[in-house]
Amino acid sequence: MRPVFSSLGSNYTAADSWYSLAGLFLSRFFPTLVTQQYSQIKTYFDATYEGETFFFYKGRDAIECALRASEVSSNDAVITQAFACYAVEEAIHRSGAEVVYADIAEKTSNLSLETIKAAQKQSSKPVKAVIVQYSLGCSLDTEAIAQWCKHNDIILIEDLAQGLGAKTFSGNEAGMVGDITIFSFGRDKMLDSVTGGACCLRTQSQREITKTAKWYATLEKPAVSMALTIQHLYPLVTICIRGSFRWGIGPVTVGKVLAFLAKKIGLLPTPLHAETSSASLFPLSFTLLLAHQIDGLEASLAHRRKIAQLYNQAFGNSAATFNQSVLEEGSYLRYPILVSNPTLIASKLAKRHIYVSDRWYRAAVDCSTLQCSSSYERGSAHRAERLAQRVLNLPTHRYITVEGAEQIVAAVQAAHS
């Protein structure tokens, strides 16, 4: 079997790697060409999500934008979910607001109205905004949450970093229900241009949009040219590593040596790492790659759905899995299954060249390999902690063929027995 990875650039083909490198060249020597394409992307987001879209270096910058547009301050609290990565908290801290973690609902990876209400009761400050995620691409009852938010004068931010293409319980498109929709175009996301984020203001007044636009006009591009070049190389480097992962003798292979060296010289930083600590503009050099990813979005969603059906047949409707409805209405960025010892199962799968140890998430608030100190209080979100101990995500990306998915199912079942 060809090695299978849940991440390591598995969204990229040779064409993506070409667009990534060409973007670097074109943005320097033919900037108008790139600017034109950027305008088309903005038009696409404005029209699709029916609002005014601002583009950023990272998804967390987009959350910062959403909180600024909501006029969140240090007198306020923002509710977000446990079972998340630290980047969301990082963005809330930038606004000065208190982070209030709500637990996820039973048999899902997302918030529910009940868990949000419970978190609101715990908050020492008035809640100004709620951020809902469609974690792992799973669906949620956004309409019920939106209605409650509206009633309580709370801004609802839909975070589509993982949920692009999902539907809500009522069958609406994710991102079309709340006041503000944010996106991440970071590594392993549905639209993956290595880095990037966007914030679409949907229900804000013209005064609020103008205020946000004024702030946006003061931002700079990330002034880290070496780090940016490294990110442009990421698709190519990962293609080389994945392609040569089995070339070698015994456990020593070209791909493993390449991965080791690439990590050593900083070519494979954790996606949670950001060189910037405040909002920065989207680097136009990634425009080509982002446009190419948007072109492939429908096909990618259809492919993920097809692969997920196979996982569903094997693991769905069993007591160990998520609610079927949260999966079926989702976008299947990854297919979650619950196992008693995910680390052990992942290591058994690695022996069969299936590498799924990059789990979302291994803790209620996951800091990846970074040192970060989260304000999450241990024990405050039991379901999130329990899910983090048991969840394993199966890949659905373009390199998982029907045959490959069947092999993954068989390998998981064998690892369990």
User: Cβ of residue 283: shortest distance to ligand PLP, in angstroms?
Assistant: 13
Q: Is 87 in the site for ligand PLP (CB under 6 A)?
A: yes
Distance of alpha carbon 194 from alpha carbon 184, whole angstroms: 10
Q: Which of residues 256-285 bind ligand PLP (CB under 6 A)?
A: 271
DSSP-assigned beta bridge partners for residue 6: none
Q: Is 333 in the site for ligand PLP (CB under 6 A)?
A: no
Only segment of 82-90, 98-106, 275-283, 301-309 that touches ligand PLP (CB under 6 A): 82-90
Q: Is 130 in the site for ligand PLP (CB under 6 A)?
A: no
Considering only CA atoms, which of 285, 330, 288, 291 is closest in space to residue 312?
Answer: 330
Among 38, 58, 80, 97, binds ligand PLP (CB under 6 A): 58
Q: Are strands 4-5 and 354-355 parallel, antiparallel or unpaired?
A: parallel
By three-state DSSP, how is residue 102 classified?
Answer: strand
Distance of alpha carbon 338 from alpha carbon 405, whole angstroms: 17
Q: Is 197 in the site for ligand PLP (CB under 6 A)?
A: yes
Distance of alpha carbon 66 from alpha carbon 179, whole angstroms: 9
CB atoms within 10 A of CB 381: 24
Size of the site for ligand PLP (CB under 6 A): 14
Among 88, 154, 199, 240, binds ligand PLP (CB under 6 A): 88
Q: What are phi and psi of 199, to 5 degrees?
A: -130, 120
**Are the C-beta atoms of residues 54 and 212 closer than 8 Å to each other?**
yes
Among 17, 115, 184, 212, binds ligand PLP (CB under 6 A): 184
Distance of alpha carbon 78 from alpha carbon 298, whole angstroms: 33
Please give the residue whose beta carbon sits closest to ligand PLP in the complex: 59
User: Cβ of residue 332: shortest distance to ligand PLP, in angstroms?
Assistant: 15
User: Cβ of residue 307: shortest distance to ligand PLP, in angstroms?
Assistant: 21
Among 60, 68, 232, 303, binds ligand PLP (CB under 6 A): 60
Q: Summarize as ranges the residues that interact with ligand PLP (CB under 6 A).
A: 58-60, 85, 87-88, 133, 159, 161-162, 184, 186, 197, 271
